[in-house]
Amino acid sequence: MTGTTVSIHGMWSTRLAFILAAAGSAVGLGNIWRFPYTAGEYGGGAFVLIYLLCVAGIGIPIMMAEVLLGRRGRQSPINTMRALAEREGKTPAWSLLGWMGILAGFLILSFYSVIAGWTLAYVLRAAGGAFAGIDGAGSKALFDGLVGDGERLLAWHTIFMVLTVMVVARGVASGLERSVRWMMPALFVLLVVMVVYAAWAGDLGAAARYLFAPDFARLQDKAGEAVLSAMGQAFFSLSLGMGAIMVYGSYLRRDASIARSAVMIAATDTLVALLAGLAIFPIVFAHGLEPGSGPGLIFVTLPIAFGEIPGGGLFGTLFFTLLVFAAWTSSISILEPVVAWLVENRGFTRVRASILGGAGAWLLGIACLLSLNLWSGYTLFGKGVLDLFDYLTANVLLPLGGILIAVFAGWVLPRSATLDELGGQDGVAYRSWRFLVRYVAPMAVTLVLLNGLGLFKAMGLG
Ligand code: PFF
């Protein structure tokens, strides 16, 4: 009834391997770089609260749906969607969901690799003692120097893309599984060390109030945009809506519990994001920095901390190294869907497919990095290429993909199929999940999307 039981691309050896890989995909720059600065742009607590609601009410159910679809189809998202739709006598056009995911993947990987490049650069800076005794202004100048230098950005972007291609080329089980096993715990421990430091040297009280006391007045007329950004952040951070989690699900064995895995992955991801906030905002407030200062936030604040801590050079080097690893375990999952498709449909070897996919994202990445310097005068909707790709993927393409995934799992697949995938127990848990993917997620995501994009305002309703 469920078709093939294994994928031609390989399988995770255990459920834990899947959880680690999916958590590796989820935990990345989105948690440590993107979450704090986005929360900062929307005033903190209210954003965080909406974010948590989105993770629990929309993110976890959609993650379960995405894993379930992947495991049932056992192919790249494009072919999985086509096969599952045809099996139910529905239009093969559902494969467009897979194509949209591939587009989102290219756009995300292109700017992701540029930011990961910043992290690589900061490993060397930390190791070379560049942060010793640095103050707010010095740190800002150091960051601006990097971002303004297109050639250096290109070099780091290239190095990171090569690293990504290398792991994907080697296949899922061997390269990936082994590395995430120790990287994830190490990153976690170091983040806790940073929080302890920030509590000791910075203003933890102010940070906690900022992050956890929702003050909706701070959103003012930006409420629609803030809700959309919080939801987009949840999709981005949980790697949902573009097929990355679907393709990882296609390598998952039949006996593993999808619900429990999804909860563990989402909980880990959320904890890491909150810890990142608690490591960064105490320093922001203690040094009079601006919480809403944008994408440079961690690259400006953390060096100040590392510059003061005894052994900060070592801690800084370790921290940015782990951040590179976190980005790496995410970037491979962004590339995997297109690689699986090239292998399935074009008969490419994995190596060739990975190189081709990586090269495409690399080229797009050049436009992203130039938008930070040479092309900084060119904008669309007030955004440069990098910001535009980031906004378009997190706040539009991933939510759209999420709606389609929820609709497919809730309305197209028969109840018996999803019940079977989710363990066969027709209890409260299953019924709640089905209610969430059939009604809540599609409607909530659609409303937030239309409202955030200003549609209701344009119609005179807002
Ligand atoms: N979840 C990753 C992060 O938070 O850094 C980014 C990401 C990975 C987004 C995979 C989308 C994706 F499919």
Residue 383 β-bridge partners: 380
Percent of residues in the chain assigned helix, strand, coil, to nearest 5: 80, 0, 20
107 CB under 6 A from ligand 1?
Answer: no
Residues 6+ apart with CB under 8 A from 297: 33, 36, 37, 40, 280, 284, 291
- State the closest ligand 1 atom to the C-alpha of 29, by its place in the atom list counted from 1: 5
Q: 384-403: per-residue pLDDT in tens?
A: 999 999 999 999 999 999 99
Pocket-testing residue among 333, 335, 389, ligand 1, by greatest number of atoms within 8 A of Cβ: 333
Reported pTM? 0.96
Residue 437 in tokens = 């993917």
Cα separation, 451 vs 455, whole angstroms: 6
Distance in angstroms between the alpha carbons of the first and the last residue of the chain = 48
Cα separation, 103 vs 175, whole angstroms: 25
Cα separation, 436 vs 444, whole angstroms: 10
Cα separation, 119 vs 320, whole angstroms: 6
247 CB under 6 A from ligand 1?
Answer: no
Look at the block and give the residue holding tokens 């945009």. 225
Q: 412-433: per-residue pLDDT in tens?
A: 999 999 999 999 999 999 999 9
Nearest CA to ligand 1 atom 12: 239
Q: What is the DSSP string of 407-439?
A: HIIIIIS-HHHHHHHTTS--SHHHHHHHHIIII
Under DSSP, the state recorded for 220 is G
Cα separation, 160 vs 122, whole angstroms: 13
Cα separation, 161 vs 158, whole angstroms: 5
Of the chain, the percentage scoring pLDDT greater than 90 comes to 78
pLDDT, greater one: 318 or 241:
241
Ligand 1 centroid to residue 342 C-alpha, Å: 21
For 10, 24, 251, 257, 373, the CA distances from 15, given in Å and listed in that order, are 14, 14, 10, 8, 45
- Give the pLDDT confidence score for residue 197 in this predicted structure: 85
Over residues 89-100, the mean pLDDT reads 98
Q: 320-358: per-residue pLDDT in tens?
A: 988 998 999 999 999 999 999 999 999 999 999 999 999
Residue 452 β-bridge partners: none
Pocket-testing residue among 38, 102, 118, 239, ligand 1, by greatest number of atoms within 8 A of Cβ: 239
102 CB under 6 A from ligand 1?
Answer: no
Ligand 1 centroid to residue 237 C-alpha, Å: 5
User: Does residue 336 contact residue 244 with C-beta atoms inside 8 Å?
Assistant: yes
Alpha helices in 74-176 (DSSP H): 77-87, 95-127, 136-147, 150-170
397 CB under 6 A from ligand 1?
Answer: no
Q: 62-85: per-residue pLDDT in tens?
A: 999 999 999 999 999 999 999 999
- Give the pLDDT confidence score for residue 397 in this predicted structure: 98
- State the closest ligand 1 atom to the C-alpha of 244, by its place in the atom list counted from 1: 13
